[in-house]
């Protein structure tokens, strides 16, 4: 299973590196969304806003939707599903691999957007750095949930509007937990309690994905 996961993750990341969709389309979209969030808050509030963590996660959710769609489109290309079926790859391994690749992409994007929120939304650098472990876990959970919901929404072949309707309610606890732990890192408070919620969500989504991804692949 782990071997399959590493193979699939490497394949997805290689495709992403060659196509540069992440670099030239997704990242600029994320940065633009962050700047627009600052503009929406207005000059008085954007500079010293406590909304920074929430806006960061909101932008990450939007970016994640694009990435999940992209990740599923890769699977939908002609011949891919037939190849997976012919090779007899373990569906749990495929799920883990796709989730891992998505997590790596989200972590990279998150790093850039955290820098952006320090610059644009003036979130404190030290607090932002101490929030990193919780951001890593929350984005990991987002990747696991996103991979599952991406497959549920029909992959690259389903209607693009279905993914947000299906996945955003599932992402909302992650948004809350991520925002709370980030805010706690900035202003002090119970960081670990919220961090734990993200960790439980990560484990739960990985477990459900390992169990049920095969059922979705049957189709």
Partner 1 sequence: MMKLLSQRLLGPVTLVLLALTFWLGLWVTPPDKVQGNLARLLYVHPAIAWVALYLSFGTATIASALYLWKRSRSLVMDRVAHCAVEVSLVFIILTLITGSLWGRPTWGVWWAWDARLTSTAILGVFAVGYLAIRRANDDVEQRARRSAVVAILAAINVPIIHFSVQWWKTLHQGASVFTPGGNFKVHGIMLTTLFISLAAFTLLFFWLLRARYRVEVVRDERQRVSLDEALAQRRREGVH
Closest approach of partner 1 to the CB of residue 49, in Å: 18
Question: Cβ distance 25 to 105 under 8 Å?
Answer: no
Contacts of residue 86, defined as CB under 8 A and 6 or more positions apart, other chains included, come to none
User: Between 28 and 169, whose beta carbon lies closer to partner 1?
Assistant: 169
Question: Cβ distance 91 to 213 under 8 Å?
Answer: yes
Closest approach of partner 1 to the CB of residue 50, in Å: 16
Cα–Cα dist 92/76, whole Å: 18
User: Which positions touch partner 1 (CB under 8 A)?
Assistant: 148, 152-154, 158-159, 162, 165-166, 168-170, 172-173, 204, 208, 212, 215-216, 218-219
> What token pair was written down for 169?
């309610």
Tokens 């937990």 identify what position?
177
Cα–Cα dist 179/110, whole Å: 13
User: Between 106 and 148, whose beta carbon lies closer to partner 1?
Assistant: 148
Apex 138 CA angle, 35 and 128, nearest 5: 55
User: Between 36 and 215, whose beta carbon lies closer to partner 1?
Assistant: 215
User: Between 30 and 209, whose beta carbon lies closer to partner 1?
Assistant: 209
User: Between 156 and 158, whose beta carbon lies closer to partner 1?
Assistant: 158
Closest approach of partner 1 to the CB of residue 66, in Å: 19
Handedness of CA 141, 26, 131, 93 (dihedral sign): positive
Cα–Cα dist 59/52, whole Å: 11
Cα–Cα dist 64/57, whole Å: 10
User: Between 133 and 158, whose beta carbon lies closer to partner 1?
Assistant: 158
Half-sphere exposure of 157 (CA within 13 A, CB side): 10
């Amino acid at each position: 299973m782990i071997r399959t996961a590493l193979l699939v993750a490497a394949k997805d990341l290689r495709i992403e590196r060659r196509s540069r969709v992440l670099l030239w389309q997704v990242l600029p979209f994320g940065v633009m969304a962050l700047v627009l969030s600052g503009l929406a808050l207005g000059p008085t509030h954007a500079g010293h806003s406590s909304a920074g963590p929430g806006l960061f996660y909101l932008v990450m959710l939007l970016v994640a939707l694009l990435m999940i769609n992209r990740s599923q489109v890769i699977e939908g290309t002609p011949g891919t599903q037939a190849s997976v079926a012919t090779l007899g790859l373990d569906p749990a391994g495929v799920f883990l691999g796709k989730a891992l690749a998505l997590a790596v992409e989200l972590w990279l994007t998150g790093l850039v957007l955290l820098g952006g929120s320090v610059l644009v939304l003036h979130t404190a650098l030290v607090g932002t750095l101490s929030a990193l472990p919780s951001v890593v876990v929350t984005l990991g959970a987002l990747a696991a949930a996103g991979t599952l919901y991406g497959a549920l929404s029909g992959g690259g072949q389903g209607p693009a509007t279905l993914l947000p309707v299906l996945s955003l309610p599932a992402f909302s606890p992650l948004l809350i937990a991520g925002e709370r732990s980030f805010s706690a890192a900035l202003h002090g408070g119970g960081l670990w309690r919220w961090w734990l919620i993200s960790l439980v969500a990560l484990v739960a989504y990985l477990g459900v994905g390992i169990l049920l991804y095969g059922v979705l692949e049957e189709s």
